[in-house]
Structure 1
């Protein structure tokens, strides 16, 4: 009887695999790739008799177009190689990408919503003027973020820094329990387990009590972490849910742009951001790559307004029909209860978001600004190190002019190809004086800059092309707030658990590891 039940379950499981979404997705993608391959070989055979003159001419024209495009030089090189070396395939692929309409539609939708909601993030000119008197260079950065990205500078914001997801989790639950009006969550990864189940239990209770609870997550979750109909499950519990850019069985460049942001807003007066997603490895309840070192920061006060607007903008974008005229006003009242003498609100902060579709690499520019303005030190934590020429120049120039430039990387990687790529940058960085450390206990997932004991960035932005050019990201820039001392202290403690890399340690890596790392740099911008 038991054997028959096991066989029955096995058959049902096999049928689910055969007729399931994943199988359909793979088959449909394979069909599209086969069609593209057939077109390629058909053209290849057709034009081989006449030489590649026609496609050679087209590839030359496309090369001129690529060289004159307004984009990063590394992306230009990544396109020029296939277009010039493989004229038929390279030209077809480039034209196919450029003709994608989904990306253009999404970009227009986002731009329209940002224009319509710009008034919610007007700069308080008195604060901007005060910052200008204190430090013109930081005022210039704030002007860039306000005018080019749409995010103002604030004072009167309190911060609490969490060196680990383990530290962040208890405070997260307590703040959720205190919610009275609304809870907004936007995360790249949500996965069932201790962390998400604990959060969801509170969300259900709050929704039942009349709190407006909304969850927004990236479509990658539907393919790997959550059922495709999970929004319906949450709606049944009273939790409103939307998915950003669901994965579809279609070859589309828009699916390369993911919502990598981590935002949680409670009642308009409290927000969280950082590197921590809502899954058990982020709080070390599940071991994947050794000890998981991540971080988060909590905001209380005026700057929470920007995170509220960020969430609502993306929420509006993800509606079946874009909510262009939705009123954000009722959600932006921060109340008075956070004005407590116990909360240190010195200094300034600028929460900001970065879109890959507006041609303005905001996160990249903020990181470059810190590197070029640093006087004594710049300390960086990042899980990935896949750099463009501008970032390599900024890092090496900082070290060459005597700035203590330190990068902390994982010692146990989550993606081997990314680790090979990262190692390929070590020699030129170390030769210039950049100090590179690897975190021996496991994996670093924090994305943090701190410089000169006066400025820091905590958020979701990695030191790689994907974060700085392809994903939707967010972070908060902090200037002269006491929390910067806590961030610096976390670096000092982390370095005690790291090993410093050297040319000898790089050269001791397997030859093929180094070879593939350097080879992958040809397509690094597209990874």
Structure 2
């Protein structure tokens, strides 16, 4: 009886029931006016045609357009309405004004660093152009005086994170897509509660969809009672809304404005291999110490202000002095950046494309998903055809079978062009990294799929000539030893029904 009550009252059950009720009411209304069905059908077709014309003329990615157009043509009665409720990223005037206000304060807190870019230009004009793009269109400047330490596995990040959290004196900011009760989160929570009791400003943001199955309903209220300020990003409601598509996929921890973490690792036991649902979980993160952490601090505060609807003075959180850090292998250039789905600038994808298009020797990539558009396919294949050594590591074990099937559907066109594809045989690789020419590195939260590149709030760290870059390369080559190279012969042995299924799924890849 207790299980039945828990199931009935679970918010997932309530959400499903609410949506089904809405559909039931709609179908009931249609059936009541059965004699006028032809008019309803004609009206639905006209709406779908109008929606298709609107899709064709907007500035969305072409593959995303095609997927929606096919879906609408297959389901002409409800397809257009479904796109209106689910497929757009259109903001209300109030939301636009709110976003503009936050963007203006973000730009003010992060003034351009033209002197650093000019210095970089003297060293490498191509690197300077990449950095300038992030500054001009992502609004996040480059920095010196920052040490990067690459963390090649979740277990290492976990220990480093606890070590740094214990040093906090002023504030701790935590923003994650997934937080799950268990060994990892409970250990971190103990530190956060202790710090909050001593007057440290502790704040947590978690995504409601990401934590739908991992945290109890209104968990934020529980944290507030512990002295931890907490926001839930984009709470799920039982109404169809385009904003439900936009999730906070970032993973950020900031301590006192001078130490920051980001990468693919969420705060859940699977990420530190305390249990293995999909085999060994390979992930990565980066720890920064120094000036560049200020950009990460502003990222968090911008999101906090957006959710809470307040306008804090960002400058009050800027550290007056930074702790002395031991510089390794020179300064280098470090540039944290964020990407929002609420504008037309796909910063994450452009950062990736710039690295591929400008590579001279090699590009090494790790990604859990390989669901890419024509621009990315062209960039990868063109670079490989030009002699650049392109290697991509993807998972061997799937976390979602249909996504894995679509990932594998891209192998042939890439391999035929000279791209080398490897699968991580011990389990699932969740790391999102790019390394190029012993000079460039990007690590962050951005998957190579449509959701990360177009629909989610994401973040990453672009690096040039930093120690972290070579640490990333070493980890990639070590990981490669545990991988199996995929050949054209492997693809020819795929059963016909799987090949057909993958082809069908690929049509709808942008909607996954």
TM-score range for the pair, normalised by the shorter chain length: over 0.9
Residue 335 (structure 2) aligned to one of 350, 358, 361: 350
Query: Any conservation in 1 of the 2:146–2:290 contact (CA below 8 Å)?
Result: yes
- The 3 A distance-change label for structure 1 pair 103 and 193 is farther
Aligned to 1:409: 394
Displacement of 1:55 after TM fit? 5.5
CA contact (8 A) 2:140 2:295 kept: yes
Equivalent-residue separation in structure 2 for 1:397 and 1:40 (angstroms): 52
- In structure 2, the CA distance between the partners of 1:61 and 1:221, relative to structure 1 (3 Å rule), is closer
2:144 aligned counterpart, secondary structure: coil
Distance 1:175 1:49, change over 3 A: closer
2:316 is aligned with 1:333: no
Matched, 1:80 2:69: yes
Cα contact 1:423–1:514 (8 A) shared by 2: no
RMSD: 2.2
Partner of 2:179: 190
After superposition, residues 413-452 of structure 1 pair within 5 angstroms as 413-452=398-437
Equivalent-residue separation in structure 1 for 2:387 and 2:352 (angstroms): 18
Contact 2:149 2:467 survives alignment (8 Å): no
CA drift at 1:106: 4.4
Aligned to 2:454: 469
Equivalent residues of 2:85, 2:242 under 8 A apart: no
**Gap change, CA 1:55 and 1:248, over 3 Å in 2:** closer
Secondary structure of 2:237's aligned partner: coil
Contact map agreement 1:40 1:88 (CA 8 A) in 2: no
Q: 1:12 aligns with which of 2, 25, 45?
A: 2
> Shift of the alpha carbon at 1:353?
0.5
2:121 aligns to what?
Answer: 132
- 2:99 partner SS: helix
- CA shift, 1:304, in A, is 0.3
- Is the 1:155–1:345 Cα contact (8 Å) retained in structure 2? no
Separation in 2, partners of 1:101, 1:67:
16
Match in the other structure for 2:24? 34
- Please list the CA deviations of residues 365-415 of structure 1 after superposition, one character each: whole Å capped at 9, or x if unmatched: 100101100100000000001011111111111111010001100011111
Q: How does 1:502-513 map to 2 (within 5 A)?
A: 502-513=487-498
Using a 3 Å threshold, how does the CA distance of structure 1 residues 344 and 173 change in structure 2: closer, same or farther?
farther
1:65 aligns with 2:51: no
CA distance in 2, matches of 1:143, 1:277: 30
Question: Which one is further off, 409-418 or 71-80?
Answer: 71-80
What residue in structure 1 maps to residue 222 of structure 2?
Answer: 233
Aligned-pair distance for 1:95? Answer: 3.7
Provide the residue aligned with 2:468 in structure 1. 483
Contact map agreement 2:30 2:37 (CA 8 A) in 1: no
Match of 2:384 among 399, 403, 417: 399
Give distance in 2, aligned partners of 1:345 and 1:444.
31
Q: Relative to 1, partners in 2 of residues 1:170 and 1:100: Cα closer, same or farther, differing over 3 Å?
A: closer
Partner of 1:271: 260
What's the TM-score, normalizing by structure 1?
0.92
Find out whether 1:24 has 2:24 as its counterpart. Answer: no
Asked whether the 8 Å contact 2:290–2:322 carries over to 1, the reply is: no
Deviation of residue 58 (structure 1)? 5.0
Deviation digits for residues 31-62 of structure 1 (CA, Å, limit 9, x no counterpart): 1233344567789974548985x655554444
Moved more, 41-50 or 21-30: 41-50
Q: 1:44 to 1:165 in 2, by over 3 A?
A: farther
Superposition deviation, residue 188 in structure 1: 0.5
1:292 and 1:444 in contact (8 A); partners too: yes
Normalised TM-score (structure 2): 0.95
Structure 2 vs 1, CA of residues 81 and 181 (structure 1 numbering), >3 Å: closer, same or farther? same
Cα 1:56/1:332, change in 2 over 3 Å: same
SS of 1:117's equivalent?
Answer: helix
2:101 paired with 1:112 = yes
Which of 293, 310, 313 is matched with 1:323 structurally?
310
Structure 2: distance between partners of 1:412 and 1:74: 27
Q: Secondary structure at the match of 1:402?
A: coil
| Counterpart secondary structure, 1:88 | coil
Farther-moved stretch of structure 1 (415-424 vs 22-31): 22-31
2:328, 2:467 within 8 Å by CA — same for their partners in 1? no
299-308 vs 56-65, greater mean Cα deviation: 56-65
Q: Distance in 1 between matches of 2:5 and 2:317?
A: 47
| Cα deviations by residue, 1:341-361 (Å, 9 ceiling, x for unpaired) | 455551101100111111111
Structure 2: 5+ residue runs without aligned partners? none
428-437 vs 58-67, which deviates more?
58-67
For structure 1, the residue ranges without an aligned partner over 5 or more in a row are 1-10
2:164 alignment partner, SS class: helix
1:199 equivalenced with 2:185 (yes/no): no
Moved more, 471-480 or 139-148: 139-148
Q: Secondary structure at the match of 2:507?
A: coil
Secondary structure, counterpart of 1:32 in structure 2: helix
1:263-293 deviation per Cα after TM superposition (whole angstroms, max 9, x unaligned): 1000110000000000011111111111000
1:247 equivalent in alignment to 2:236: yes
1:512 CA displacement: 2.6
- Equivalent residues of 1:267, 1:334 under 8 A apart: no
Structure 1 residues 466 and 375, CA gap change in structure 2 (3 angstroms) = same
Q: Report what 2:372 is aligned to.
A: 387
